[in-house]
Amino acid sequence: MSRLRHRLSHLLTPHSHEASDKVDSAMESSAAGMRALWISLAVLGVTALLQVVVVVISGSVALLGDTVHNFADAMTALPLGVAFVLGRRAATRRYTYGYGRAEDLAGLAIVLTIAASAALTAYQAVGRLLDPRDISHLGIVALAAVVGFIGNEWVARYRIRVGRRIGSAALVADGLHARTDGFTSLAVLLGAGGAAIGWRWADPVVGLLITAAILLVLKDACREVFRRVMDSVDPVLIDTGEAAARAVPGVLSVTGLRMRWIGHRLRAEVTVEVDGALNVRAAHDVAVEVEHALLHSVHRLTAALVHTDPAAASGTEDPHRKLAHHAA
């Protein structure tokens, strides 16, 4: 009866496991990522160009650091764009998992960009501390800082939201980078305020504070990208997958479940124990049901490889029972 209810539920619930539908879903997520990149690139590009004009006329090193970050953040759209385009390509006999890992390489490029922008800002700030200079047009500098904050915070929210929705760690890291630039824009206001009351050191000190803030976000971005490169997944996903597999009629236990990210899509490998008296066809049917249950229950899972182990008879040990080991 439980098997009948499971099959009826499966028939009445809209779904598809056709390869073309999985490709369409992947294409849609890549298109969403590309759209987020180009929209945020336009916003940050305009923001940075406006700030460049103010840097030239004011000489503010803090605003220079903020402008450099905005340009760097805009330019990270390039490796991410390449990664999303590559991720749309079909798997080949050489790249059997496809090209989704290009996103991880883009994430590494973003981390290096963040580090380089922090180093440049620190260099400029230290140089200005050793050779103090007055900055002019403080009102315009303050206005440029506010514009920088608004532009960066909007881009940060947009990239992080889309990145989490499609499962792109690189896009989330890029959003975190933009958020840091937003807060550094607010820090420029402090430098402008200090300069207004005659504190010549305020502007370069704010530049150093900006560098410290960037380093904190660099740590978070490194952790996010490192986990993805090392095939880390949220344990909640494993718990969800195991529960879904155990609920399938005919599954006695789940003896192994592994997941990994390929770009912004998940793949799974699972071993389940079934009644040793089942014939090959019946065991295959159980495996198909387990695959369907996993695809329905685990968000962004696009493929699942299921292996069935026969349960040993009571009091005996089945010499053919073993866990499946799959090379990724």
pLDDT given at position 247? 94
Contacts 24+ apart (CB under 8 A), 218-223: 218/111, 218/114, 218/115, 218/118, 220/173, 220/176, 221/107, 221/110, 221/111, 221/114, 221/173, 221/176, 221/177, 222/111
pLDDT given at position 61? 66
Q: Over its length of 328 residues, how does the chain's per-residue pLDDT go in tens digits?
A: 444 344 333 333 333 333 333 333 444 456 777 787 778 778 877 877 887 887 777 777 667 766 776 676 666 677 777 777 787 788 888 988 888 888 888 888 888 877 887 787 787 778 777 776 666 667 777 788 888 888 888 888 888 888 888 777 777 877 877 777 777 777 777 777 777 777 767 767 777 877 887 788 788 888 888 888 888 888 999 999 999 999 999 999 999 999 998 877 889 999 999 999 999 999 999 999 999 999 999 988 888 999 999 987 544 444 444 434 333 3
**Secondary structure percentages of the chain, helix, strand, coil, to 5:** 65, 10, 25
Rounded to an integer, what distance in angstroms lies between the CA atom of residue 104 and that of residue 101?
5
DSSP state of 18: -
Q: What is 231-328's CATH number?
A: 3.30.70.1350
The overall pTM is greater than 0.85: no
Residue type, 192: A
Domain residue ranges in the chain: 19-229, 231-328
Query: At the fourth CATH level, which superfamily is domain 19-229?
Result: Cation efflux protein transmembrane domain (1.20.1510.10)
Least Cα distance to 301 among 248, 261, 246 occurs for 261
Rounded to an integer, what distance in angstroms lies between the CA atom of residue 23 and that of residue 20?
5
Neighbours of 133 (CB within 10 A): 12
